[in-house]
């Protein structure tokens, strides 16, 4: 949700550093982009469209300065356009500002500035900041004072970086929007997310809410909200720059789909012990079994939460999954000893953070199931369980969803009230152990590509599943609609006859997930027959046990495995279907229209 970058100390490589950082951050927004370099004056270039539009303009412009900031935008206030692109400047062009977040009182501030004669040149909330700074500078404030004074007038969520002509410093602040510093020997960086500067350094400082930072050629300083200098911890991140490239794949999404065997191995490593038949999660050593669990999550992560509730019910712990954006408004009671778990790959989703804060303010213990060490969710929650999936750049979540399903299994076994029955746990551990290899088997299967050819041009696509496969049906449809822009819906298989069946025709393929041969599978088979009778092409995602082949037009096979791991495999088949259909339609797979990864506004 907007990406910001800044660097000092890169000399003649400043522009290149900013552009390469922005290209890594493009997943956060791609409506427009811009950069500003401070020297005696300011050079600012910005352009509507994806980053290559900016790069073309930069190629024809002479820019100088070794203190620079940049921005890639996901529109909130004002449509995508050159004028709404960041950096925003004051009237005289002495201050340039990039912002991620929402300034809630911007209208009030804008009215005040306009009454004083300031002419605004954009529709954004962000533009008030350079004008506020310019006003202070005119009144004799130093650049630092002007920045602090401007920030003190803002309400809302923001990560902001500013440069001032003639000052060799980047001024930055964080409030409810991510901002991290990168510390190298002779160069310093700031960004919305670590991968933006991972090429240069792995040493990072995660700013806390309310903290200010200054980056200068001769060093960096972090101040608390009262202006006192602090001594922040410098952490070293484990991710490497190579992990943030496409490694020869056409799209990050395809790369990340193919990384799933590795991601799952990393998630399980050292946490399941086949010999003793146990699950150990070091991070959760001090977590007691709660009386109930509430999950809060959005989008794909919400589907992982739905899966998680079923597992917790199996071990006898009451559990509910809430869409994070609905959590506070539906006022769910919080019985004593309830654990509230935020499932969020980025750890920065505003709706999820807000739901976690709501639960925390009502006394609940909180846990973040996240992929990003140092993320807001990880730092604010009482506990954090890391997915270890490696960086995910494609907007559509793939490897992090598979890792969430595995992470949830670890959490549930950790919480199981009376210790896990040995035989049951051993068979789960075997399923988890085999999972990376089984995922690889699915990845090696080219049937999804062939099926896409057959179904191309259909009117709508439906996905059905039951039990643990219901969240996969929802996820299959979400992924499909998100990157193909085709109409897709997921349903609980049993719900079809209560309404959605009216939509089913010979031009609406139905993907049905059915594994095993128990009562549940037999019921789903019944639902498959219902859609088949209406002429819909049926694609079965199956381990073959339910003899679904007789009723299905096409079959996407998955290896036979534990009932808790088969949803992961079924989902990989559906990821491939979505990917190949989107590729065939020529869609912008890594950057679907109107979307952004890490949604940091509510």
Of residues 96 and 478, the one with the C-beta less far from ligand F6R: 478
Give whichever of 43 and 482 is closer to ligand F6R, judged by the CB atom. Answer: 482
Nearer to ligand F6R (CB atom), residue 213 or residue 601:
601
Quote the CA–CA distance of 300 and 345 in Å, as a whole number: 9
Q: Shortest Cβ distance from residue 28 to ligand F6R (Å)?
A: 11
User: What's the CA gap between 324 and 304, in Å, rounded?
Assistant: 13
Which of the following is catalytic: 2, 7, 267, 298? 2
Helix or strand holding residue 321 (H, E): strand 319-323
Q: Give the sheet arrangement for strand 219-223, strand by strand.
A: 88-89, 95-103, 156-164, 169-175, 212-216, 219-223
Structure tokens at 471: 């969240």
DSSP state of 201: -
**Nearest approach, Cβ of residue 215 and ligand F6R (Å):** 27
Q: Quick one: tokens of 9?
A: 């100390």
**Residue closest to ligand F6R, measured at CB:** 299
**Tokens of residue 252, six digits:** 């990050």
**Smaller CB separation from ligand F6R, 200 or 327:** 327
SS3 sequence of 103-160: ECCHHHHHHHHHHCCCCCCCCCCCCHHHHHHHHHHHCCCCHHHHHHHHHHCCCEEEEE
Report how far residue 239's alpha carbon sits from residue 296's, in angstroms, rounded to the nearest whole number. 27
Order across the sheet with 292-297: list the strands: 319-323, 292-297, 338-343, 365-370, 383-386
**Residue 597 is among the residues annotated as catalytic for this protein:** yes
What are the tokens at 312? 């917790």
Paired tokens of 37: 């370099």
Q: Which tokens go with 118?
A: 């300031």
381 as an active site residue: the answer is no
Question: To the nearest whole angstrom, how small is the minimum distance from the Cβ of residue 385 to ligand F6R?
Answer: 14
Which residue lies nearer to ligand F6R by CB, 66 or 345?
345
CA distance 213 to 29: 24
Asked whether the beta carbons of 168 and 65 are under 8 A apart, the reply is no
Nearer to ligand F6R, 321 or 599 (CB): 599
Provide, rounded to whole angstroms, the least separation between the CB of residue 264 and ligand F6R: 17
> What is the closest distance, in whole angstroms, from the C-beta atom of residue 474 to ligand F6R in the complex?
11
Q: Which of 46, 255, 479, 597 is catalytic?
A: 597
Quickly tell me which residue has 């549930």 as its tokens.
Answer: 412
Closest to 302 in 3D by CA, of 484, 75, 513, 477: 477
- Length of the chain equals 602
Nearest distance from residue 482's CB to ligand F6R, in Å? 5
The continuous run of DSSP H or E covering 422 comes out as: helix 422-443
Smallest gap from Cβ 346 to ligand F6R, in A, equals 3
Cβ neighbours for 373, distance < 8 A, ≥ 6 positions apart: 235, 237, 238, 386
Do 595 and 482 meet the contact criterion of CB atoms below 8 Å apart?
yes
User: Would you say 133 and 146 are in contact if contact means Cβ atoms under 8 Å apart?
Assistant: yes
Binding residues vs ligand F6R (CB under 6 A): 298-301, 344-346, 349, 352, 396-397, 478-479, 482, 598-599
Taking the complex as a whole, the smallest distance from the CB of residue 321 to ligand F6R amounts, in Å, to: 13
Question: Toward ligand F6R, which CB reaches closer, 214 or 482?
Answer: 482
Our CB check for ligand F6R shows the closer of 136 and 260 to be 260
The SS3 of residue 341 is strand
- Closest CB 392 distance from ligand F6R, rounded Å: 8
What's the rounded Cα separation, in Å, for the pair 532 and 241?
49
**Nearer of residues 357 and 426 to ligand F6R, judged by Cβ:** 357
Beta carbons of 76 and 86 less than 8 angstroms apart: no
Catalytic machinery residues = 2, 597
């Amino acid at each position: 949700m907007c990406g910001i970058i800044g660097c000092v100390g890169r000399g003649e490589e400043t522009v290149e550093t900013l552009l390469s950082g922005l290209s890594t951050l493009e997943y956060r927004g791609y409506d427009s982009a811009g950069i500003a370099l401070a020297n005696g004056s300011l050079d600012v270039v910005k352009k509507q469209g994806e980053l290559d539009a900016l790069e073309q303009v930069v190629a024809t412009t002479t820019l100088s300065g070794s203190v620079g900031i940049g921005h890639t935008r996901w529109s909130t206030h004002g449509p995508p356009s050159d004028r709404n692109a960041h950096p925003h400047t004051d009237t005289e062009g002495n201050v340039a500002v990039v912002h991620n977040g929402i300034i809630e009182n911007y209208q009030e501030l804008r009215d005040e500035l306009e009454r004083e004669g300031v002419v605004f040149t954009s529709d954004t909330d962000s533009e008030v900041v350079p004008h506020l700074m310019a006003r202070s500078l005119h009144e004799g404030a130093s650049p630092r004072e002007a920045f602090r004074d401007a920030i003190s007038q803002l309400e809302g969520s923001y990560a902001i970086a500013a440069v001032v002509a003639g000052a060799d410093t980047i001024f930055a602040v964080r409030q409810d929007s991510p901002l991290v510093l990168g510390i190298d020997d002779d160069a310093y960086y700031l960004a919305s997310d670590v991968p933006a500067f991972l090429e240069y350094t792995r040493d990072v400082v995660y700013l806390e809410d309310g903290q200010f930072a200054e980056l200068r050629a001769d060093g960096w300083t972090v101040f608390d909200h009262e202006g006192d200098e602090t001594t922040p911890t410098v952490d070293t991140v484990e991710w490497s720059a190579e992990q943030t490239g496409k490694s020869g794949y056409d799209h990050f999404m395809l790369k990340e789909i193919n990384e799933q065997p590795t991601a799952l191995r990393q998630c399980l490593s050292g946490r399941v012990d086949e010999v003793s038949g146990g699950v150990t999660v070091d991070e959760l050593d001090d977590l007691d079994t709660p009386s109930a669990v509430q999950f809060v999550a959005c989008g794909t992560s919400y589907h992982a939460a739905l899966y998680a509730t079923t597992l917790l019910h199996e071990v006898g712990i009451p559990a509910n999954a809430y869409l994070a954006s609905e959590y506070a408004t539906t006022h769910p009671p919080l019985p004593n000893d309830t654990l509230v778990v935020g499932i969020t790959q980025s750890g920065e989703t505003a709706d999820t953070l807000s739901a976690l804060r709501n639960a925390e303010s009502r006394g609940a213990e909180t846990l973040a199931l996240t992929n990003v060490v140092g993320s807001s969710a990880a730092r604010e929650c009482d506990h954090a369980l890391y997915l270890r999936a490696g960086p995910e750049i494609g907007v559509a979540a793939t490897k992090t969803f598979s890792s969430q399903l595995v992470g949830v299994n670890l959490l549930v076994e950790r919480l199981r009230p009376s210790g896990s029955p040995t035989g049951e746990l051993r068979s789960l551990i075997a399923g988890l152990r085999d999972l990376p290899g089984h995922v690889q088997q699915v990845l090696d299967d080219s049937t999804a590509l062939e099926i896409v050819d057959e179904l191309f041009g259909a009117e709508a696509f439906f996905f059905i599943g039951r039990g643990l496969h219901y969240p996969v049906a929802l996820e299959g449809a979400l992924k499909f609609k998100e990157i193909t822009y085709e109409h897709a819906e997921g349903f609980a298989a049993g719900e079809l006859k209560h309404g959605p069946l009216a939509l089913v025709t010979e031009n609406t393929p139905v993907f049905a997930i059915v594994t095993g041969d128990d009562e549940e599978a037999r019921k789903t088979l019944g639902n498959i027959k219902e859609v088949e009778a209406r002429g819909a092409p049926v694609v079965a995602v199956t381990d073959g046990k339910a003899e679904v082949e007789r009723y299905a037009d096409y079959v996407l096979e998955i290896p036979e495995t534990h009932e808790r791991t088969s949803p992961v495999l079924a989902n990989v088949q559906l990821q491939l279907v979505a990917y190949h259909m989107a590729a065939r339609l020529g869609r912008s797979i890594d950057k679907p229209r109107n979307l952004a990864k890490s949604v940091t506004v509510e």
